[in-house]
């Protein structure tokens, strides 16, 4: 069990925050779904502080954060974590929603994590250029802002990653852009059932299949719906039941399996 020093850890302000701190110390999940809305409030700054090493005398036994059903106030800032050579412990945010506004800004640019699971959580945007993650799960991720994006340019993702079902908060809303330009994916890339305004895979390398079964790519105006130029796909490109509004560009793409 890893032990990490914590810098200036804020005191809990709600019952939900107290449950989160207790669960982090014990290495257990914190499920706030049964609490009244006011007690489910968790500050993004508290989540950021849990992942910030420091020089405080007290030590927090920390094996990752597993939080569900929270209402999160403010951005979560996790840039550059895990660059010392040891990935940051797992971050799990299930079915978490913002206290106000369209979504939760989550920044993890240049960070390294053992695992990140954001299933069915509502973000304003995910900024994670250069992220290194052994398992990234974005199943059912909701992007609440009309011009929102999931930016994973240059990311290195492990074989357990799942990006299926990403979409907007409302049917009438412009879907998010998913940027995986230059990304390296060990295994298949599963985007089945996602609804995106554009999928960018320029120069990406996918070791196995690229799966877009049942996905919707809805580019506005004359913009391309899929930019896959110079990518390498080590297996099949699956477009079974996929609906596309806009161009599919695969110039110079190397596809090992069938289309």
* H or E element, residue 30: strand 30-31
pLDDT band, very low/low/confident/very high, at 160 (cuts 50, 70, 90): confident
Pick left, alpha or beta for residue 204 (phi over 0 → left; psi -120 to 50 → alpha; otherwise beta). Answer: beta
What is the pLDDT, as a whole number, of residue 146? 86
The residue written with tokens 């079964």 in the block is 213
pLDDT digits (tens, 9 = 90+) for 35-70: 999 999 999 999 998 887 653 434 454 668 999 999
* Chain position carrying tokens 């799966």: 211
| pTM for this model (two decimals) | 0.92
Report how far apart, in Å, the C-alpha atoms of 31 and of each of 19, 37, 141, 186, 200 are.
8, 13, 18, 31, 35
From CA 247, how far away is CA 226, in angstroms rounded?
7
DSSP SS3 for 230 = coil
Q: What pLDDT does 54 receive?
A: 57
Helix (H) or strand (E) holding 232: strand 232-233
The structure tokens 């599919």 sit at: 248
């Amino acid at each position: 069990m890893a032990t990490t020093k914590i810098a200036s850890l804020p005191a809990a302000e709600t019952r939900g925050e107290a449950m989160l701190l207790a669960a982090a110390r014990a290495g257990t999940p914190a499920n706030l779904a049964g609490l009244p809305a006011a007690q489910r409030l968790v500050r993004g700054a508290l989540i950021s502080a849990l992942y910030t090493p420091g020089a405080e005398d007290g030590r927090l036994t920390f094996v990752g954060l597993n939080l569900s059903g929270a209402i999160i106030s403010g951005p979560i800032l996790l840039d550059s974590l895990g660059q010392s050579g040891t990935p940051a412990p797992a971050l799990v945010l299930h079915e978490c929603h913002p206290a106000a506004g369209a979504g939760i800004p989550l920044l993890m640019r240049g960070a390294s994590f053992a695992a990140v699971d954001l299933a069915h959580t509502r973000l304003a945007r995910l900024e994670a250029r250069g992220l290194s993650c052994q398992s990234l799960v974005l199943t059912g991720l909701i992007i609440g802002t009309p011009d929102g994006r999931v930016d994973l340019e240059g990311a290195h993702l492990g074989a357990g990653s799942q990006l299926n079902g990403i979409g907007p908060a409302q049917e009438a809303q412009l879907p998010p852009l998913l940027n995986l330009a230059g990304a390296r994916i060990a295994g298949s890339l599963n985007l089945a059932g996602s609804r995106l305004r554009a999928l960018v895979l320029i120069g990406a390398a996918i070791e196995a299949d690229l799966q877009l079964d049942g996905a919707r790519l809805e580019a506005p105006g004359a913009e391309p719906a899929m930019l896959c130029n110079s990518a390498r796909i080590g297996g099949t490109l699956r477009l079974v039941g996929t609906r596309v509004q806009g161009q599919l560009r695969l110039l110079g793409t190397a596809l090992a399996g069938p289309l």
